[in-house]
Amino acid sequence: MHDQSMEMEFARARALEFEPYTLFRVPAMTGRYLNVHPAGYRHGRRPFSWPPDPQEANVFVLGGSTAFGYGVADGETIASQLGDQLGSPVYNFASPNYTSVQERIRFEQLLLQGHRPRVAVFVDGFDDFIAPFYEPMMFAPFVTAAKRRRLFDRFLRREKPAGRVPDCAVVVDRYLTNMRLIKAAAQQFGVHPVFVWQPVPCYQYAGPAADHGSSAPLIECVQRGYEMMDARRGGIDGLLWLADMQRGRTDALYIDPDHYTAAFSGEIASRIGQHLVKTGWMRS
C-alpha cells in the first residue's frame, strides 16, 4: 500500500455489496487511488465511455482480487496497463473473491445487456482453489437471511461455519467446465475468450515466502492443483499459461501473500498483450 488513505480506500472496497446471481461485487466508489464505475468496472489510467463504443476494439477483463488490482492504484492494474499497451479500451470487471463461476455469470450478464467486447480475458487459478474454503463463511449471511426462524433466534450465539480444504482435482474439473461454457457463449456472440492461468507466490517462485500458518493445507492444495493443471493444459485452446513466468526469480513480485506489485502487474499485462497481438485479435 502507498499510504494510509490508500488503505482506507481499499477497506471501503472490502465492504462488498449484494449483486443478483454473482451475490456480491465491489460497490461504486470514488477516491484518489481507487475508482469503480456504477456499471461495475474499475477505472484505469484513462477514462472510457459507458456503454462501450461498439466501433472500438474493446477488451473486458474478469477475475478475482489480483485482476482487480488489490493494493495498487487504478493506473497500475493489469487491465489498465494492458490498455496502455494496446491503445484500446480495457474494462476491468474483476472483483475480489470472484471465481470462474462468478466470472462466467458476470460475462453472461454483460452479453445480456448488449455489451460485446472483441476480447474477454479471464484471469484465474488462485481463487478457484481458495474460494471453496471461505464460501461457507462468506455465504452464511445469505443462507441465514433466507431461513425461516423464530424472532429470538437472531440473538442466539452462532458458531462460524467451518471451511474445508477442497479436492483440487474437483476444482480443476470445474474450472475446465466453466471454460467450455464461456467458450460456447462467446462463440455465439462473436467474442474471443482468453483464459490466463495466473502466477501465484506458492508455485514456481523463489522469492520472499509468506508464513501461511494455519492456512498451509489450503496453500498445499493450490500447489497440487497447479501441478494438475500443468499436466492437463496441453491442447487446451485459448489457455495462456503464465503460472511459471516467475520461475527462479527472487525479486519481490507481491505486495502481500497474494497480490501483485504494480511492476509485476505490468509484466503480466505485457504477456497478455503480446499474446493478443500474436494471435491477431489486437494490434499493438
**CB half-sphere exposure, 190, CA atoms < 13 A:** 8
**CB half-sphere exposure, 237, CA atoms < 13 A:** 6
Which residues does 185 contact at the CB level (< 8 Å), separation at least 6? 104, 107, 108, 111, 191
Looking at residue 147, its pLDDT comes to: 73
Looking at residue 152, its pLDDT comes to: 55
Looking at residue 64, its pLDDT comes to: 96
Looking at residue 158, its pLDDT comes to: 58
Q: What domains does the chain contain, in order, with CATH numbers?
A: 4-278 (3.40.50.1110)
- The rounded distance, in Å, linking the Cα atoms of 284 and 162 is 48
Q: How many CB atoms lie under 10 A from the CB of residue 115?
A: 20
Looking at residue 47, its pLDDT comes to: 85
Which helix (H) or strand (E) segment holds residue 90: the answer is strand 90-92
Record the cell numbers describing residue 241, joined without a space.
499459461
If the chain, 284 residues long, is cut into consecutive pieces of 10 residues, what is the mean pLDDT of each piece? 80 89 93 96 93 96 97 97 97 96 98 97 96 76 69 57 85 97 98 98 86 76 96 93 95 94 98 96 86
Residue 275's nearest CA partner among 250, 248, 240 is: 240
Looking at residue 153, its pLDDT comes to: 59
Looking at residue 180, its pLDDT comes to: 97
Looking at residue 164, its pLDDT comes to: 85
Looking at residue 134, its pLDDT comes to: 78
Cβ atoms 108, 72 nearer than 8 A: no
